Amino acid sequence: MRQLSHRLQTVLALLQNTACLGDIGSDHAFLVAAAVLQGKAARGIAVELCELPWRQSKRTVHALGLSEVVDVRLGDGLEPLLPGEVHALCIAGMGGGTIRGILERGRDKLTQVSQMVLQPNVDAGALRSYLCDSGYRIADEAVVEEASVVYQGMRAEPSREGILYTPLELEYGRINLKRLDSHTVRLLERDFAHWQRVESSLQAGRPEGIAERRQWVNERVSALREVLANVR
């Protein structure tokens, strides 16, 4: 099979070995096929919402001789899965809100899932907040940029311990902020420049009705400046 994109390589690196991997929105089933071929998953299920990508995924699986161990199913989110059928779940390349909706609607399918590797392209903070409120902890994270889009990957695992996060940790990930690798730093620098521009525009505007917004932006700029001071 062709080499995985850098983005999907990052997802695969976050995944730990599992008996059965469910990949929602599988993008030609490349990820689930690679997981099986590399021995990270004993078997897999690729789920596609539309018929064309479903057929493309089936062709990939057939061409690689994996039809006996990788099933390709047509349906919405987790709906094609049976309760307890998968032990790990991957959902990548969608917005954080979309991923949250998929998980929320399919909660009954997650009874045996011990890890979820999620890679939102936007709204990572909202997804982390949902996971923490739903009984999961973030066990590992990674930031990757592809085609000018920044993806924040995370592996979530069930946890009975409540973990408190700062707003910045929810937005960028506690583990990412500790590692501060080059991808994370570029993301922080990009957002710092953006919020500085917002801060300047709010200072130039009339104060009526924007005091709370101005305070929030000022706090975000200060927090980002403090983090970036450690890498400059």
- pLDDT tops 80 at residue 232: no
Residues 113 and 223 reside in one and the same domain: no
Residues 35 and 146 reside in one and the same domain: yes
State residue 231's pLDDT score.
83
45-93 pLDDT per residue, tens: 999 999 999 999 999 999 999 999 999 999 999 999 999 999 999 999 9
HSE value, Cβ hemisphere, 13 Å, CA-based, for 191? 20
State residue 187's pLDDT score.
95
Query: In terms of residue numbers, what domain contains 216?
Result: 183-228
Q: Which of 135, 136, 138, 209 is nearest to 179 (CA)?
A: 138
**Position 160 confidence tier, pLDDT thresholds 50, 70, 90:** confident
Residues 66 and 133 reside in one and the same domain: yes
Query: What residues have CB less than 8 Å from 51, skipping those under 6 apart?
Result: 74
Placement of tokens 């889009």 in the chain: 149
Residues 149 and 68 reside in one and the same domain: yes
Give the amino acid at 155.
Answer: R
State residue 163's pLDDT score.
80
- pLDDT tops 80 at residue 200: yes
Note whether residue 223 is domain-resident.
yes
- Burial environment of residue 203 by CB neighbours within 10 A (0 to 12, 13 to 18, 19 or more): exposed
Residues 152 and 187 reside in one and the same domain: no
Query: What residues have CB less than 8 Å from 69, skipping those under 6 apart?
Result: 36, 42, 43, 44
